[in-house]
Structure 1
Amino acid sequence: MRRRRRKRRRRKTKNSRIQKNRNVERRNGTAG
């Protein structure tokens, strides 16, 4: 019995990247 997995690709927007960077800044206390 073989199962096929579907790969889901999320489209990244500039906005989400900026938000991620802000979160990292909060964690590390540094930019990026």
Structure 2
Amino acid sequence: MDKIITILLVASALLTIYLSYFDSTKVFVG
């Protein structure tokens, strides 16, 4: 159960970093 929670936390963290990077890139380009 802990492993599933850890995977979810890591996935959400990576998703947040990816979205923030995409937004910053879009703002930088546009």
TM-score (norm 2): 0.51
1 or 2, which has the higher helix percentage? 2
Instruction: State the percentage of identical aligned residues.
Output: 0
Larger radius of gyration: 1
| Gap runs ≥5 in structure 1 | 1-11
C-alpha root-mean-square deviation of aligned residues, in Å?
Answer: 1.4
Which structure carries more relative contact order (alpha carbon 8 Å, separation 6+)? 1
TM-score (norm 1): 0.49
Q: Any runs of at least 4 consecutive aligned residues in structure 1 with deviations exceeding 6 A, and if so which?
A: none
Matched residue count: 18
